[in-house]
Amino acid sequence: MPSARILILTNSPLCRNPRVVKEATTLGSAGYDVTVLGISNHFPSIAIDRDLVARSPFRHLSVDMLGRKSPPPHRLAVWLRRLQHRAARELCHRLDWQLASALGPAGPLLRAALRHPADLIIAHNEIPHWCVSRLIAAGRRVAADIEDWHSEDLLPHERSGRPLRLLRAGERYLLHHAAYTTTTSHALADALHARYGGRRPEVITNSFPLGPFLAHPSPPLPPSFFWFSQTTGPGRGLELFLAAWSGTTQPSRLVLLGETRLGYRQRLLESLPESFRARVTFLPLVPPDQLPALIARHDIGLALEKDFIVNRDLTITNKILQYLNAGLAVVASNTQGQREVLTRGPEAGLLVSLHETTALTTQLDALLADPARLARRRLAARQLAEQLFCWEKEAPRLLALVETTLLPSPGSPLPVPSS
C-alpha cells in the first residue's frame, strides 16, 4: 500500500537518530507518505536536520523545547514544558511518582501525534513508547521499534529521576498490543520476550547502507584506533581501554569523536603517560553524511560497550556496524550483542575483556605488530558488512513488515494499561 500515510515518532533530532532516518528514507523511497514527528531539544542540530530533510523523501515536524526566536506566547509555552519536565523528574526522584513528563514533553508529543492523520504510526524511543497505549486506545494502528531497552539502560546515577515502572509497563504493552515490534539483536529480542511475553520482536539491525570501501595501503602514519559517540564522557569504556593502550609498545594513534563533557578531556589525558598524550586527537561531531568517510580514514574501530548495563550488553549499537561498513578491524568488548556480530565473522575483529588490562594490552600489541593480519581483518570486516550487516539486507525486512501490517484487518481500541 505505497500511498499509505506513515507517522514516525521519535524523541530526538534526526541527526542524532540514524535508525529513524534510515526507516523514514526507506519507506519514503518506496512511495509511502512519511512524516517524522520529533522533539527539537538541541540547537546545533536544527540546521543539520534542515539540510538532511531537504534531500530526503519525508517531512519533518517537531515539538519545540528550545523556544529561540519565537513569539513571546510560544516562548512561554516552551518554558512551561521545560519547567514541567524538571518538576516531574524531581517528583520521581524524591517521591517515586511515575510521571511521563519526567521523560520530556510526553503530553505535547502525544497531542501532536493525535492531530496528525496516519494509517500507521511507528514509535521509536521512550516518550513515543509511552504514547503507544494512548494511540492504540484512540483507534490508531501502531508499531514500535525498541532500539534500546530504556528501563534497563544507563549508569546507576543516571537512572535517578526516571519513571522505571512506567517504562516497564509501556514495554510490556508494546510486546502484547503493538502491530509489530522490532529491535536490534536476537539477544535483546529474546530477553524482552522472556521478560514480558507477548510476541517476540523482529530483528532489524542498526546496519547502514554500504558505502565505498577505501582499503588504503599501509600508511606512513601508525595505525589509528577510532571511537565515536554523541557524547565523550565517563561510563563508555574509554578509561579501561586507555589503561591497556598506554601499556602497548607498538606505535599507534587514537581518535575520539563526540561532544566532550566538561573537564573529561583533561581527565583522560592525565590518565596517560606523557608520551601517549600527543597521540590522542579529539574531534567534534560531524553531520551524519560525513561520518562514514571520516571513519574510513582509520584502521581499528573501538566498540567498548559495558556489559553490566543490561541494554548495552544485549543491543548491537551503531558503532560496530559502522566500523564493519567502513572496513575497519574491530576491537569489541565481549557483550552478548557484539558477540552476536563477531561470531558470524571472527576474522573481522577481536572480542576482548576490558577489565583484563594486561591481556588486552597484549592483544592490542599483537594486532598492531602485524600489518598484513590487520589488513586481512579489515577486509573480513567489510565482507561481513556486505554479506550480513548492511541496510541493503535489512530494508526488505522492514518493507515487508509494514506492507503486511497495512493490510486490512479487523480491530478495536484496547484499554490503556496502568503503571
| Sign of the dihedral through C-alpha 86, 47, 145, 351 | negative
At 3 the pLDDT is 83
At 70 the pLDDT is 67
Helix axes of 371-387 and 357-369: crossing angle, nearest 10 degrees: 100
Q: Shortest CA distance to 349 belongs to which of 370, 326, 324, 371?
A: 324
Written as tens digits, the pLDDT of the chain (419 aa) is: 568 999 999 998 999 999 999 999 999 999 999 999 999 988 889 999 999 999 999 999 999 888 876 677 778 888 888 899 999 999 999 999 999 999 999 999 999 999 999 999 999 999 999 999 999 999 999 999 999 999 999 988 889 889 999 999 999 999 999 999 999 999 999 999 999 999 999 999 999 999 988 766 555 689 999 999 999 999 899 999 999 999 999 999 999 999 999 999 999 999 999 999 999 999 999 999 999 999 999 999 999 999 999 999 999 999 999 999 999 999 999 999 999 999 999 999 999 999 999 999 999 999 999 999 999 999 999 999 999 999 999 999 999 999 999 998 655 444 454 44
| Architecture of the domain defined by 5-206+392-405 | 3-Layer(aba) Sandwich (3.40)
DSSP per-residue string spanning 236-296: SSHHHHHHHHTT--S--EEEEEEEEPTTHHHHHHHTS-HHHHTTEEEE----GGGHHHHHT
CATH tag, 224-389 = 3.40.50.2000
Q: Shortest CA distance to 419 belongs to which of 113, 85, 167?
A: 167
Indicate the helix (H) or strand (E) that contains 182: strand 181-183
Same fold, 5-206+392-405 and 224-389: yes
At 414 the pLDDT is 46
Neighbours of 416 (CB within 10 A): 11
At 76 the pLDDT is 85
What does the block give as the cell for 56?
530526503
199 CB contacts (<8 Å, ≥6 apart)?
175, 176, 180, 181, 193
At 157 the pLDDT is 84
Pairwise CA distance, residues 254 & 277, whole Å = 10
What does the block give as the cell for 390?
548492511
Pairwise CA distance, residues 260 & 94, whole Å = 30
The phi and psi torsions of 143 (rounded to 5 degrees) equal -120, 170
Give Cα 323 distance to the centre of its chain.
14
Q: Shortest CA distance to 66 belongs to which of 84, 81, 56?
A: 81
What does the block give as the cell for 311?
541494554
Q: Shortest CA distance to 62 belongs to which of 80, 79, 46?
A: 46
Pairwise CA distance, residues 102 & 148, whole Å = 18
CA neighbours closer than 13 Å in the CB half-sphere of residue 245:
27
Give Cα 35 distance to the centre of its chain.
20
At 212 the pLDDT is 86
Indicate the helix (H) or strand (E) that contains 88: helix 72-95
DSSP per-residue string spanning 207-246: -------------SSPPEEEEEEEEE-TTSSHHHHHHHHT
Q: What is the DSSP letter of 62?
A: E
Asked if 302 contacts 354 with a C-beta cutoff of 8 angstroms, the reply is: no
Indicate the helix (H) or strand (E) that contains 8: strand 5-9
Q: What is the pTM of this model?
A: 0.92
b/e code 143-158 from CB counts within 10 Å (16+ = b): bbbbbbbbbbbbeeee
| Sign of the dihedral through C-alpha 23, 28, 34, 39 | positive
At 213 the pLDDT is 85
How many angstroms separate the first and last alpha carbons of the chain?
36
Show me where the domains of the chain are located: 5-206+392-405, 224-389
State the burial class of residue 106 (Cβ atoms within 10 Å of its Cβ: 0-12, 13-18, 19+): buried
